[in-house]
Structure 1
Amino acid sequence: METVTARPYSEAQRMEMRSLVNLAGEVIAYYWPMRTFIHHNLLHGLEYLEFEEAVQQGQRFLGGRPYLPNEVFRDYFRTGRIRIEEVDAALQPFTQDKTVLVGNTRITHLEVLRAHLLQGLTAPNHMHQPEAGDPSSEDAALATLTDRLRTILPSSDHQAQVQTAAEADIQALGHDMTVSAWCDRVLGTRIVEQINEELIKWCGAFVDEDHAAWTMPARDLSLYTVWKQLAQHDFSSAFLGIPDWKHKIQALPERSEDSLLMYLEILGIPKALWEDYLSLHLGTMPGWTGFIKWRAEETGYEWQERYPVSLVKYLAIRLFYEGELVRDACRVKLNITGDYPALVAFMREQPHVYSLRQARVTGSLTPEFRRQVDRLRYGSPRDRHAAWRMLADRYHTHLHVEDEHKKCQSHAWRLLRLADMLQIPPQAMIDGAPGELQVLLRWLDDFPETRHGPVWLQAFEAGYRQTLLETLKPNIRKSFSATDLGQGSVAEVRPLTQAIFCIDVRSEGFRRHLEEIGGYETLGFAGFFAIPFRFRPFGSHHETDQCPVLLKPKHIVREVPRAYQSLEAEKHLAGKRFLQTGHQLLYDLKENVITPYVMVEAM
């Protein structure tokens, strides 16, 4: 059984780890408490990047979708919100001055990209098998072109493709994917979900701000320390299947930096990948980590001063669970140690087995292969090593024959859809020169649908700008006409009503529509009059910021009674204490476990 032994680390190593976590946390945006919450921009920490790079980083670390689905943009095009001129302008940077001849029609590179963008020339995953027959029928054309492409397109090296896919995942491991996510993808585990559930439980109890009826004990010791104390008495680790869990938690270092360093080394993560690896973990639950980041960096925040929390402490707990769960899963299912070097060696030495296991988790196996894989999955990995290799070789031999036909059929479908978009007879595409057909397919492959989002957004924004300018143009013309006629000095009509709004994007639409009715004038004011300060009411123990959450006040204003108001002040405090006592009593009764039984008996 594997044991955990605390290792000594220098203060310099701890400082380096804290700095590394700060860098890794740049991808996480602040998340304010709900009482001061206004909006949450997940890309706030990436605003120094170009937009496309920022959304790519957001997708990589936070798992979000950077653009609207292509079908939504296509609906905008069909309804006229995006026009063909804007599409062509957005495609211009991607086009080449090249053409191909199909039949009597010369096709430009722009036409191919435009058709792909507007229609989405990606073959569906499941296609019915057409039968040869009447050459005028759609199915017959698909079958004929499929047969012709078999003789034109070079046969793919399936072995090399499997190896290439494994090498791509090797490069992604630690850079775009954690080892726990790898186990979920390959072994069908729920490690990421299990870790999230544990962290939500512990973080929710720790960062509570007097809402819970039963508060977490010893919170003043910091998140990591109190977790280390209490987790020894929590049987969740046993339910997760962590062997010798109590002893392992007891043996953890006292410092969260030491524990984080230790588990990065236990997992064998190369030091060059540490920053990206920690960013991936922080991005798994950006709401919790965003709030922890804000609270740790908010100087003077009373809850942070009483109950300190930081991203280092959060990550130390998270990597403990990951290290133990991943090592146990890999030992049981693969008979390997479950660290980065072992996973890389498995993918490199057994790419076919790796691919077969992934196919089982994604559900892409046939029923027969699924049954055979399941029989091996629930056997001993030590005894079934050779059987896995034999089954993987059979599967990929079967897959190679099937994939060759599917590949040619998919390419034929794309070419026929392209011909339909460009109003070219199907027979012309079927009879096209081999070189020309290969060029068309290469153009389509070089512009996959995953790259359509930025182009669509560019066209959509161009259309919006044009529509906005056309809407403003009549008013601008009126203004110039009045000036030319010498009417610029005419006194303005006094508005019927003036309305004051906060300077906020959420108010702009209301202000604009209100002014369009006529007779109304709206004014915008900053609610704090550009003087950020903190205010403490008389008799209160807490201060509140009287400014937007993005600002940090440097001044504190306290409400105090005048010297001759001592009697009124005492009455105010007595009334406030009475209300607080009543509120606390009602709250305690609502949360007390005995109250429901007493209420039933009383009724």
Structure 2
Amino acid sequence: MSPTLSIPSVADPSLAASSAHSAPWSDGGARIREILEQVCSSMTAVWPLKDYVAVNPLGGFTEHRFLDARKKLRVYSDCETLMPLAYYANELKQGRLTVEAIELAIKELATDESIANANLTSESMVKQLRSFDPLPLLVQPTGTSTNKDRSLRTISEFVDGQKGTDWTTTIREEVSKHCAAHYDDGQAAWQSPWKDLPLYQAWLSAASRDRKIEILGLQGFRKFVTAMPATPEESIAMCLNSLGVPSPLWEGFLSCQMQSVSGWAAWAKFQVDMASRKDELSTDLIALIAMRLAYDVVLANQATVSVPWDAMAAGDQDQVDVSSSGAWSNRDDIALRHLLLRACEIEFRERLLLRLNVLPDVPDTAVPSSTVAQMVFCIDVRSERMRRHLEATSNREIETFGFAGFFGLPIEFVPIGSSSGNAQVPLLLSPKFQVHEGLRGSGEQAALDSIAHRTTIRGFRQAWKRFSTSAVGCFAAVETAGLLNGFSLLKRTLRWDLGLSDGHRFDGVAKADREHLGPMLCGLNAQGITTTHQADMAEGVLRGIGLTKNFAPLVVFCGHGSRTDNNPLAAGLDCGACGGHTGESNARFAAMLLNQPFIRTNLAERGIEIPDGTRFVAALHNTTNDEIAFFETDELPEESLGDFQQLAKMTRSASERNRAERLPIIASKSVADLMDRCTDWSEVRPEWGLAGNAAFIVGSRRMTESTDLDGRTFLHTYDHKDDPSGSILESIMTAPMVVAHLINMQYYASTVDNLHFGSGTKTVHNVVGRFGLFSGNGGDLMTGLPWQSLHTGTSFQHHPLRLLSVIAAPRASIERVLAKHAGVAQLLTNQWLHLVAIDESQLFRYTDSSTWEPITSVSALSN
């Protein structure tokens, strides 16, 4: 019989203060702080909407093996990390999974204890899969809130389970309400008076006055909050003592509390991470745990509930449950699904490797005379299709390269008239200097006029917003401007004469000056970025790309960005390497830098001689409609105009071919329909983003040239012969490869469990505080990708596979990088990332025991 939980009455305000210094705080809080550090380290931050970049929501578990992370997570949450068997039944039916791949997976995972104990065979697995009807389980968003094997729950979940109440939802709504008010970034008309306080103190001030939770039935809550300790750590210690939680369960129980509001926990973790970058300390995540725990303590006091603490502390958390089919135990089911995941990954690996040209490159002695341009694209999977069509359309008159989309320039781009701007770098990095926007060639007065006009326009817009959302002005605003807004609404709905919107980018800038608006070189020396530093950056860009000789007449830095309407998650379609923004500013700055005579002179002294006839140009690939726009073309010398006109013609043709390839994938009725997706504010699938991503290939373009890779691979140009020190390989494996892994895992997690790691359906999204999303009008903060970014409505567009990295380099060079960077090695040995090396035309798989195993199955399949 489980003991009944009972705590002293919270009617006595001295309870909280006296309890704070009981058992959990007996060592001055050292043990609690240590456990809280472990708990908080398992949470991954979510970035604000304006800078939304991909993260691995399971990033806090990568120190564990992939399957062990699932086991740990499901002790205290309903989160899932594996697809259901019905999914793999469909993969088998569709031919994306074969018996041969299953047999290879069994062989590869033979030393895995869970696989060995399950005694799985390909025959039994196929038989089991064919018994499933896959269709019913493949339409609705994935994820469930019924993890029957879960041993740790919040007190509200125990109460709900035993009494049929819904306190868990009520408490989540309360916590969410307080967090939304505290973190609001200007969306709310009425701001919280305690915004300037830390989260915990702000919540104490608000919750001690807010009667709502007591009206809903949680009596004595305000009195309890009033008497709580001054710090969240002491509050947590007091709550654990009040609930009588055994010390072996502290970490799991606190993780359970955090996971019950995981969206807000991810946002609080973002505050912690940003403070850390400034060498500051934030207690926001600990505060959130203390807040959530307080509701449980008061609820436990008024609801007699049975909580089996002792049984949970001593019990076996790996209980075997029998599925409804009766054929497999729960443990076998997990082993089977894990093995099938690996089989699907092997199937993809074998098919991909068969397409690659692994023969040694023939050294180039000179750029072909017919080459018009060399175009440097982001490694983004959407660039793969465009690069392929450019090369085919131009009959190889265009040579393409793959490089991180921020082009190795760690800048903060500051719009004209602003003092701060966007970090145009991957989330792993921080900007090193600011690049200011200006009006190129328009004179100082034009810039000053633009700034003044911008200030006026934005000031009026803010004043109107304050008036139209105020208690006094909201009705008057509707009466006076409602008809005009109604016409605008009708125009947007019917898409009458709508061009691509630039938002408020050109506020105050005269139309004649808009084409001159862009990044400037001025102001760099004042920040300590001397001409030598600038030359260092330019050299780093070219060596990172592998372009140090044989320059074409035109070298184009082509960033990318998306153009959509009414899409709060639009930044997720932009360049992740540019911090969730377009790559325009980086591309333009790179081209401007490399066109400077003093840079070229300095580079020549370093052995990189750029011909006088070579010009660097910036471009932007709109991934929604596949148009490519060029910048500063009016500055091209007359001798370059013919080459540019030829380049522009070929890019238009490549764009047309790329759109034609994407039509059936995006389910567009026509090219016109695809083009309209940029301005259709009702479109929930304007483009697929990086859905389908599965591989990261590092090597020369010759490996993949003319090969259709289905838009599923990140492509990074690299030649190990030009990198004797291995420094370029090191930078690739520790930055772009890791970023690709983060993107891959966000798509993976959002697909396997959209309920907990995704953001549900777009159709009910509401922006909260200008930084995040609600599904509906409340609940937890949404953190991941929406269902419409992963699923067509009838089938999966993204097939969840862990990223496969294919690197054409000596194994010894790869091993040196892994020996130096334990975090990267850990991703491989713990099965979060897979690696294949192409060494002397031979294929080798990096195993989870840090050894190399030859891959012979590919050659066998090709025979």
Same fold, TM-score > 0.5, yes or no: yes
Task: Name the CA distance, whole Å, in 2 between partners of 1:579 and 1:308.
Answer: 36
Task: Name the CA distance, whole Å, in 2 between partners of 1:121 and 1:582.
Answer: 61
Show CA shifts across 1:167-212 (max 9, x none): x99x964xx4333333333332322222211111111111112222
Matches within 5 A, 1:105-504: 110=121, 113-115=124-126, 117-119=128-130, 173=151, 176-299=152-275, 310-330=284-304, 340=309, 445=329, 448-472=332-356, 475-476=357-358, 492=368, 494-495=370-371, 498-504=374-380
Counterpart code for 2:468: K
Contact kept in structure 1, 2:468 and 2:477, CA below 8 Å: no
Contact kept in structure 1, 2:181 and 2:191, CA below 8 Å: yes
Tell me how far 1:573 sits from its aligned partner: 4.5
Partner of 1:39: 54
Unaligned runs of 5+ in 1: 97-107, 123-167, 349-405, 415-443
Show CA shifts across 1:336-379 (max 9, x none): 7x6946x979x99xxxxxxxxxxxxxxxxxxxxxxxxxxxxxxx
Contact kept in structure 1, 2:406 and 2:425, CA below 8 Å: yes
Relative to structure 1, the CA distance from residue 95 to residue 19 in structure 2 (aligned partners, 3 Å threshold; closer, same or farther) is closer
Relative to structure 1, the CA distance from residue 34 to residue 61 in structure 2 (aligned partners, 3 Å threshold; closer, same or farther) is farther
**Aligned match for 2:69, one of 50, 54, 71:** 54
SS of equivalent residue, structure 1 residue 68: coil
Task: Name the CA distance, whole Å, in 1 between partners of 2:78 and 2:120.
Answer: 33
Partner of 1:353: none
Matches within 5 A, 1:501-516: 501-512=377-388, 514-515=390-391
**Aligned match for 1:88, one of 103, 107, 113:** 103
Partner of 2:90: 75
Relative to structure 1, the CA distance from residue 504 to residue 286 in structure 2 (aligned partners, 3 Å threshold; closer, same or farther) is farther
Relative to structure 1, the CA distance from residue 191 to residue 120 in structure 2 (aligned partners, 3 Å threshold; closer, same or farther) is farther
Show CA shifts across 1:451-487 (max 9, x none): 3111111211111111112223xx45xx67x97xxx9
SS of equivalent residue, structure 1 residue 523: strand
Partner of 2:490: none
Task: Name the CA distance, whole Å, in 1 between partners of 2:434 and 2:263.
Answer: 30
Partner of 1:594: 472
**Aligned match for 1:545, one of 420, 423, 435:** 423
Counterpart code for 1:6: A
Relative to structure 1, the CA distance from residue 237 to residue 536 in structure 2 (aligned partners, 3 Å threshold; closer, same or farther) is same
Tell me how far 1:327 sits from its aligned partner: 3.1
SS of equivalent residue, structure 1 residue 524: strand
Relative to structure 1, the CA distance from residue 179 to residue 340 in structure 2 (aligned partners, 3 Å threshold; closer, same or farther) is farther
Relative to structure 1, the CA distance from residue 339 to residue 540 in structure 2 (aligned partners, 3 Å threshold; closer, same or farther) is farther
Tell me how far 1:111 sits from its aligned partner: 6.7
Relative to structure 1, the CA distance from residue 462 to residue 546 in structure 2 (aligned partners, 3 Å threshold; closer, same or farther) is closer
Aligned residues: 435
Tell me how far 1:250 sits from its aligned partner: 1.6
**Does 2:32 match 1:17?**
yes
Task: Name the CA distance, whole Å, in 1 between partners of 2:308 and 2:71.
Answer: 28
Tell me how far 1:318 sits from its aligned partner: 0.6
Relative to structure 1, the CA distance from residue 592 to residue 177 in structure 2 (aligned partners, 3 Å threshold; closer, same or farther) is same
Task: Name the CA distance, whole Å, in 1 between partners of 2:209 and 2:330.
Answer: 56
Q: Which moved more, 1:177-186 or 1:215-224?
A: 177-186
Tell me how far 1:13 sits from its aligned partner: 2.9
Relative to structure 1, the CA distance from residue 512 to residue 291 in structure 2 (aligned partners, 3 Å threshold; closer, same or farther) is farther
Counterpart code for 1:274: W
Task: Name the CA distance, whole Å, in 1 between partners of 2:26 and 2:186.
Answer: 35
Contact kept in structure 2, 1:184 and 1:192, CA below 8 Å: yes
Show CA shifts across 1:564-597 (max 9, x none): x986676455333312311212221331233343
Tell me how far 1:274 sits from its aligned partner: 1.4
Task: Name the CA distance, whole Å, in 2 between partners of 1:499 and 1:516.
Answer: 14
Contact kept in structure 1, 2:101 and 2:344, CA below 8 Å: yes
Q: Which moved more, 1:242-251 or 1:176-185?
A: 176-185
Partner of 2:400: 522
Task: Name the CA distance, whole Å, in 2 between partners of 1:458 and 1:27.
Answer: 25
Relative to structure 1, the CA distance from residue 258 to residue 515 in structure 2 (aligned partners, 3 Å threshold; closer, same or farther) is same
Task: Name the CA distance, whole Å, in 2 between partners of 1:283 and 1:470.
Answer: 43
Tell me how far 1:319 sits from its aligned partner: 0.4
Task: Name the CA distance, whole Å, in 1 between partners of 2:70 and 2:392.
Answer: 36
Partner of 1:156: none
Show CA shifts across 1:210-243 (max 9, x none): 2221111122121121221222322222133122
Contact kept in structure 2, 1:500 and 1:522, CA below 8 Å: yes
SS of equivalent residue, structure 1 residue 6: helix
Task: Name the CA distance, whole Å, in 2 between partners of 1:468 and 1:595.
Answer: 61
Relative to structure 1, the CA distance from residue 114 to residue 597 in structure 2 (aligned partners, 3 Å threshold; closer, same or farther) is closer
Task: Name the CA distance, whole Å, in 2 between partners of 1:262 and 1:506.
Answer: 52
Counterpart code for 1:204: A
Partner of 2:784: none
Task: Name the CA distance, whole Å, in 1 between partners of 2:42 and 2:384.
Answer: 30
Relative to structure 1, the CA distance from residue 272 to residue 506 in structure 2 (aligned partners, 3 Å threshold; closer, same or farther) is farther
**Does 2:456 match 1:578?**
yes
TM-score (norm. length: structure 1):
0.62
Partner of 2:44: 29
Relative to structure 1, the CA distance from residue 265 to residue 460 in structure 2 (aligned partners, 3 Å threshold; closer, same or farther) is same
Counterpart code for 1:324: V
Task: Name the CA distance, whole Å, in 2 between partners of 1:459 and 1:536.
Answer: 48
Task: Name the CA distance, whole Å, in 1 between partners of 2:77 and 2:386.
Answer: 33
Partner of 1:437: none
Contact kept in structure 2, 1:113 and 1:447, CA below 8 Å: no
Relative to structure 1, the CA distance from residue 320 to residue 446 in structure 2 (aligned partners, 3 Å threshold; closer, same or farther) is closer
Counterpart code for 1:110: T
SS of equivalent residue, structure 1 residue 219: coil
Contact kept in structure 1, 2:412 and 2:421, CA below 8 Å: yes
Higher relative contact order structure (alpha carbons within 8 Å, sequence separation ≥ 6): 1
Partner of 2:723: none
SS of equivalent residue, structure 1 residue 216: coil
Show CA shifts across 1:488-514 (max 9, x none): 889757345543322334433543455
Relative to structure 1, the CA distance from residue 568 to residue 115 in structure 2 (aligned partners, 3 Å threshold; closer, same or farther) is closer
SS of equivalent residue, structure 1 residue 299: helix
Tell me how far 1:314 sits from its aligned partner: 0.8
Task: Name the CA distance, whole Å, in 2 between partners of 1:74 and 1:278.
Answer: 37
Counterpart code for 2:261: M
Partner of 1:397: none
TM-score (norm. length: structure 2):
0.45
Considering fraction of residues, name the structure with more strand. 2
Q: Which moved more, 1:25-34 or 1:500-509?
A: 500-509
Relative to structure 1, the CA distance from residue 239 to residue 94 in structure 2 (aligned partners, 3 Å threshold; closer, same or farther) is farther
